[in-house]
Chain A
Amino acid sequence: MSARRRGEGRRGVVIALVSTVVVFAGLGFAIANAPGWPEIHRQFFDWAEFRSTFPEILSAFWLNVKIFCISEALILPLALLLAVVRGLPGPVFFPARLLAIAYTDFFRGVPTIIVITLLGFGAPALGLSGIPTSTTFWGIVALVLVYTAYVSEVYRAGIESVHPSQASAARSLGLTHGQSMLYVIVPQAVRRVIPPLLNDFIGLQKDTALVGVLGSIEAFKQTQIDQAASFNFTSGLVAALLFVAITIPLARFTDWLVARDRRRQLAGAAA
């Protein structure tokens, strides 16, 4: 590398630094000097409020964690099943494919909050004996219905991204359609869609807040209770940080998972 190019590199770093400082200092100054800032500061960033609402929101957040863990454990296999059903070959399976398509279209299109409200208020109101009245139960059912539709499409994209020659090769080895899906196609498909699966998992985590419409006190509902009591929005910040505290490590973990997988595949190619 020539001295001239090294010099340009250093200049680039300096310019980037100066421009970053100027932009953020400018933004910070503009916000802090906005006419409404003292009000926003008092009602959104109140440290005393943050500390006093934190413990209850944290304990309410436990319900969100429970809901998204149980839901995800159900969604992952159900969605895979749905994607496989949608890919079944042959005219015999036409009704199954049709149902799978109708299901996906419907539950992907309906807003989650409506599914939760209809199921959560409607099902227990039927008054049938043996039907659970637990809001958490119906919240989970609604989330599983909606997210299974989303996630099955992710799986389907993965399955369709596996080159047809893989299926042909598997069949020529004498594997049935089912066996070639199980041993050849699905394992490759799932690896490819781990990042979008995580995307939907994060979406699910955030949507657990919608279960609050049924009356159970999860993190977001707790922040609303706190807000209504003090007319102070700081508690929302507490919940936001709790959600982010879960999603960021998860995103890094997935990155690591994908990178490891890639390394192993490349190592295989070299051998």
Chain B
Amino acid sequence: MRRLLLLAVPLCALAVTATATGGRSGPSASCAKADLQTVDDGKLTVGTDNPAFPPWFGGTPPKGSKWKVSDPTSGKGFESAVAFAVAKQLGFPKAQVEWTYVPFAKSYAPGSKSFDVDINQISYLPARAKVVDFSNSYYDVNQAVVVNKGTPAASVRSVAGLRKFRLGVQIGTTSFNAIVNVIRPFSKPRVYDTNDKAVFALKSKQIDAIVVDLPTAFYVTAVQVPNGKILGQLAAKTGEHFGMVLKKGSPLTPCVNQALAKLKANGTLRRLQATWLSKVAGAPVLK
């Protein structure tokens, strides 16, 4: 009898898993709100990292809020505004947009997702697109180098001149790729888990320069490192852009792209850029 039971356990497991397979629905053709399957019925759940930094997010988190530095739910800051604009196109007014904390690594972890779209300055890369869906571009990115004023690195005028310095960067960014592929420094860069750690290391002169996207560079020099200066931007690598991340094969992806196309055509995207990223123009390009 006991032996029979021993056999029965794995067999039961087989039976359960056999019935659980299958049942993944294909993309629905319609982008009407009633046809959209979202994580939370009747709501659009948008993910981003916490703390959320300007100029991508703005507003002051209210007391007791889980959000730090900025408040994604405020609609202030470029990405917050874009997310709400896309949601509106899809038929979700501001009250039906739910924000959730999604650390970067969680955005692409396999399994079910806790968000419908994730917006977190994530650059499109072909390898990444194999495991998640990317929306089309909502922002075309340039990389910039930030240094401390009055240090040897601050007098550099060329990309080649940067090679002998100790560079720092946030992990998982295309800024890292820019260091490895464009600057090609003599010593390995320091790679930090978050951008604020990289910024701290720059501020306390543990490193000579950091590479960040240009809008972030303006925030870093304006707020985080008062003694910082934008050395310049790296010559634009064609086609680098931020996209929203969705579950691979999500039926929402074509709908988000439709919404983004509309926002581009009617000038909303340009207007939001002018509002939240206006100071961004005019950093010299490093040759």
Per-residue contact bits, chain A 76-105, to B (CB 8 Å; 1 contact, 0 not): 000000000000000000000000000000
Partner of A229, one of B13, B21, B111, B125: B125
Residues of A3-35 at the interface with B, using a CB-CB cut-off of 8 Å, are 15, 19, 22-23, 25-27, 29-30, 33-35
Distance of A37 from chain B, by nearest CB (Å): 9
The listed residue (B13, B111, B168, B191) touching A26 by CB distance below 8 A is B13
Q: Is A23 touching B10 in the complex (CB atoms < 8 A)?
A: yes
Instruction: Let me know if A148 is at the binding interface, CB within 8 A.
Output: no
> CB-CB contacts of A202-224 with B at 8 A, as 1s and 0s?
00000000001111110001001
- Interface presence of B9 (CB below 8 A): yes
Q: Are B200 and A121 in contact (CB under 8 A)?
A: yes
Q: Measured between alpha carbons, how far is A158 from B59 in the docked complex, in Å?
A: 59
Which residues of the partner chain A approach B20 to less than 8 Å between Cβ atoms?
34-35
CA of A124 to CA of B202, assembled, Å: 11
Q: Per a CB cutoff under 8 Å, which of B3, B23, B190 touches A215? A: B190
Answer whether residue A51 sits at the interface, using C-beta atoms and an 8 A cutoff.
no
B168 contact from A15, A127, A215, A224, Cβ within 8 A: A215
B residues 1-56 touching A (CB-CB < 8 Å): 3, 6-7, 9-11, 13-14, 17-18, 20-23
Indicate whether B259 reaches chain A with its CB closer than 8 angstroms.
no
Which bucket holds chain A's interface residue count? Answer: 35 or more
| Cβ of B281 under 8 Å from chain A | no
Measured CB to CB, the closest approach of chain B to A255, in angstroms, equals 32
Q: Which stretch in B102-110, B137-145, B148-156 binds the other chain?
A: B102-110
Report B178-205 CB contacts with A as 1/0, cut-off 8 Å. 0000000000111111000110110111
Residue count of chain B within 8 Å CB distance of chain A:
48
A26: chain B residues at CB < 8 Å are: 9-11, 13-14
Assuming A26-B9, A121-B204, A232-B127, what are 5 further A-B pairs, CB within 8 angstroms? A19-B6, A39-B248, A43-B110, A225-B191, A228-B171
Chain B residues packing against A (C-beta within 8 Å) = 3, 6-7, 9-11, 13-14, 17-18, 20-23, 104-105, 108-111, 125, 127-128, 130-132, 168, 171-173, 176-177, 188-193, 197-198, 200-201, 203-207, 248
16 A-B contacts (beta carbon < 8 Å): A25-B10, A29-B17, A34-B17, A35-B20, A36-B111, A42-B130, A121-B201, A121-B204, A121-B206, A215-B207, A216-B190, A217-B190, A217-B191, A221-B191, A229-B125, A230-B127
Residues of chain A whose beta carbon lies under 8 Å from any beta carbon of chain B: 15, 19, 22-23, 25-27, 29-30, 33-36, 39-40, 42-44, 121, 124-125, 127, 133, 135, 212-217, 221, 224-225, 227-233
